[in-house]
A = this chain, B = another copy of it.
Amino acid sequence: MQLPRFAGIPTFMRVPFVQDWRTLDIALAGVPYDGGVTARPGARFGPREIRNMSTMTRPIHHVTRFNPFDVCRIGDVGDVPFSNLYDVELAHADIRQFFAPLFAAGKLPLIAGGDHSITYPVLQAMRPTKPVGLVHIDAHTDTWDTFKGSKFTHGAPFRRAIEAGLIDPHRSIQIGIRGAQGSDEGWRYSQAQGMRVVFIEAFETMGPAAVAAFAREVVGDGPVYLSLDVDALDPVYAPGTGTPEIGGLTTRELLALLRGLDGIAWAGGDVVEVSPPYDVGGNTALAGATLMYEMLCLFASHLSRTRHA
């Protein structure tokens, strides 16, 4: 990171590219796949542009002075090498196969998508002994069912994950939800299963600190997955995404929310739905990269606590 920001080959945050992840604590990985979108594609280029913009990030946090690189071994393990791209389920199998050994070895993956459909195979790869908790920040609950012939689109991962016993809906919270829909089945499914759904109006009333406190309470002490869809942000902050909905979070609110989640026992996480072809000006990728850094701080903080415990 001694290079000026415009120099060098862009790995995530300019950490070394590491083909053998066994020496790492936290593995930064890309999943360049957007075969599950229902509207605008392009998130297949998300990992590359997040890597590119992550050359603007730096290690020492201005609020906490925490430096995740001081306490953890962190590397870029590259992208999932797909052998199938034209069948959602086979592509998901490639994703599963890439992450399964990482999870099995106790590594913490921090993933840049790709569309939100990738979270389901990632959760499958985790093979949790019991369902994990979920903090899900998004404009959409992504608990819809079948769309145009598939049960595995980016509108469905958390429904599939609940059905498969991968996440515990009672230890799950969905934050930032908004936008008209053609049917209310997704919203109803989430609530019927016991997930806490914090619509944007409630978020605004409560404020990020209170929502974060509520989230910590909901997920409790067990392992938790953190899934962040950039469309949780207002389209002004994240124009480069597939299904923008006006009236969303500001980056300041989202940063405050994330910082309020420190202390949770993180098991992994992702930043998804950055779609560079729609990212006029690059602010979405810049936000994606910076949010990934904030998540890295959360994950490193957790690992650091764990070790000293």
A246 contacts B287, CB within 8 Å? yes
Is the CB of A90 closer than 8 A to any CB of chain B?
yes
Is the CB of A129 closer than 8 A to any CB of chain B?
no
A62 contacts B182, CB within 8 Å? no
B52 contacts A48, CB within 8 Å? yes
B3 contacts A86, CB within 8 Å? no
Is the CB of A189 closer than 8 A to any CB of chain B?
no
Kindly list chain B residues whose C-beta atoms are within 8 Å of the C-beta of A36. Answer: 86
A34 contacts B41, CB within 8 Å? yes
A236 contacts B235, CB within 8 Å? no
Size category of the A interface is 35 or more
A8 contacts B79, CB within 8 Å? yes
Q: Mark each residue of chain A from 122 to 164: 1 if its CB lies under 8 Å from any CB of chain B, else 0.
A: 0000000000000000000000000111101100000000000
Identity of the chain B residue whose Cβ is nearest the Cβ of A85 in the assembled complex: B148
Interface class of chain A by DSSP: loop
Is the CB of A83 closer than 8 A to any CB of chain B?
yes
A44 contacts B6, CB within 8 Å? yes
Identity of the chain B residue whose Cβ is nearest the Cβ of A275 in the assembled complex: B277
Q: Roughly how many angstroms separate A277 CA and B276 CA in the complex, as a whole number?
A: 10
B87 contacts A181, CB within 8 Å? no
Per the 8 Å Cβ criterion, residues 200-240 of A in contact with B are 200-201, 204, 234-237, 239
Kindly list chain B residues whose C-beta atoms are within 8 Å of the C-beta of A17. Answer: 9, 17
Kindly list chain B residues whose C-beta atoms are within 8 Å of the C-beta of A290. Answer: 245-247
Is the CB of A278 closer than 8 A to any CB of chain B?
yes
Set B6, B9, B40, B201: member contacting A9, Cβ < 8 A = B9
Kindly list chain B residues whose C-beta atoms are within 8 Å of the C-beta of A165. Answer: none
